Structure 1
């Protein structure tokens, strides 16, 4: 659950729909393929898409691809976007002030063709306190532009700050088999009934460069994947989902084959022995 919105646990991250250069204005992805991926995702039961107005490369915008492919939107589709970071038309990054957050929300509304946003995550940058920023979003929620609020890249103290202002339905932090520094926050979210939504669940330490960019896949992951007849990426997603019923996954891809594999990972159950072996992997 994201507030009162029910989503399937495997969603889709939209960043890679724009091409491999989503953060550096590199070569755009194929528009027709991106539209095909989005429509196929919905056919496969994906009803949770994670996006942002700053997901764009040269000639491609994730939000506009979503609008083209899926509008008029299915009634059960939940589109989650984020604000805080921003990029001007040349691609230069900036961190939004509280006064600029409304403009970012309205930009997402325009690009997606919506009159309100289902969920907006405040993506913390380097600020020590998020109270002023989250308060600005709470005002937009009260004004009807946003249905639910979440936070991203936060620590426990930031979550508490936000909760003192308005309900928080999700926390979106980096978490994967390799990078588990947010394990305690994941556990705490489960206790509080808050969805925990990891990013880079497949890529791990590779982050924007992709899965295992810093080296080969671990032997444990390869062995378990072989035993189940699946890919290492599917093992990583299954491991992520087995961290708790409140944990969602939003693997990003612009590849139709990878999309099918990612969705199929939702049906993969790792055994207790598998989980014990994987426990030895990561940091």
Structure 2
């Protein structure tokens, strides 16, 4: 069940969602970004899976998707040093460098990949600093616009992990600091060490475990970047035609994916969805979420448990 949201100003209204949000109060971007993780995984020998392990099989297609995203108005591109072992960052730079003035590249560090199926937190300060230096090289920048701690390492004090990012910030190598997959308590603990500009957690219509984090971010002016923003779950299952989401999408003349993204834009003025795709067609569809209007009755219906 969705948690009560009386603690923050209700963003629900018949007015269109605010089009931009300033990350860290200083980096305004359009609130519909692009997640580059899907631009990965070329052929890999059996029996190994390839979950974001190798560069894309169709590199030119991936480059074109990134360039088209910016043409369609994307101002926030999210990647990570763990995607394709740094190859995803290189792909972003190849497609978009020199970067447009308003384009913010967000990356992440703090996860090590010993094999295709392993994602292991590694938050030792010296490792985080090394990975940030490598990200600077791969992205071809002097300052990382947003560096996020990919996962908290339970073996290292959180203050030490965030402290390493704060040191990079003080050196001018990081503009804004973020966290990923964290609780409100962890955000508060990290905020005592450094200003937290963004939080990236899994969140969508079907998975609202982090409702309290969304509200905390709204109260404190922190950007909330929901990953897997279109995991439609029970909302898209048959029960009508495509279920509740499909019916509402038909009513407003949109696709279910567009309505799922629009719901996030209405959810809070600090939410910045980062849908990813390897298809220019799906990219254009996702960006069409800006054209979806949801009235109070439809928002209430979407808010209700599936």
Q: Please confirm whether the aligned pair reaches a TM-score higher than 0.5, indicating the same fold.
A: yes
- In the alignment, which residue of structure 1 is the partner of 2:109? 83
TM-score (normalised: structure 2):
0.82
- In the alignment, which residue of structure 2 is the partner of 1:47? 75
Structure 1 runs (4+) deviating above 6 angstroms are none
1:108-127 equivalent positions in 2, closer than 5 A: 108-125=135-152, 127=154
Alpha-carbon distance between aligned partners in 1 of 2:211 and 2:115, rounded to the nearest angstrom: 37
Please tell me whether residue 224 in structure 1 is matched to residue 252 in structure 2. Answer: no
- Superposed displacement of residue 92, structure 1: 5.1
Whether the aligned pair in 1 keeps the contact of 2:121 and 2:151 (CA below 8 Å) is no
- In the alignment, which residue of structure 2 is the partner of 1:165? 193
Alpha-carbon distance between aligned partners in 2 of 1:54 and 1:190, rounded to the nearest angstrom: 28
1:150 to 164, 173, 178: 178
1:101 to 128, 142, 145: 128
What is the RMSD of the two structures over their aligned residues, measured on CA atoms?
2.5
Report how many residues are paired.
274
The verdict on how the C-alpha distance between 1:152 and 1:178 changes in structure 2, with shifts beyond 3 A counting, is same
Please tell me whether residue 268 in structure 1 is matched to residue 289 in structure 2. Answer: no
Whether the aligned pair in 2 keeps the contact of 1:177 and 1:281 (CA below 8 Å) is no
TM-score (normalised: structure 1):
0.89
- Superposed displacement of residue 19, structure 1: 3.8
Q: Deviations over 1:82-101 (max 9, x none)?
A: 11112258775432222200
- In the alignment, which residue of structure 2 is the partner of 1:252? 276
Partner SS, residue 105 of structure 2: strand
Whether the aligned pair in 2 keeps the contact of 1:22 and 1:56 (CA below 8 Å) is no
Instruction: Give unmatched runs, 5+ long, in structure 1.
Output: none
Whether the aligned pair in 1 keeps the contact of 2:50 and 2:116 (CA below 8 Å) is no
Q: Which has the larger radius of gyration?
A: 2
- Superposed displacement of residue 47, structure 1: 0.8
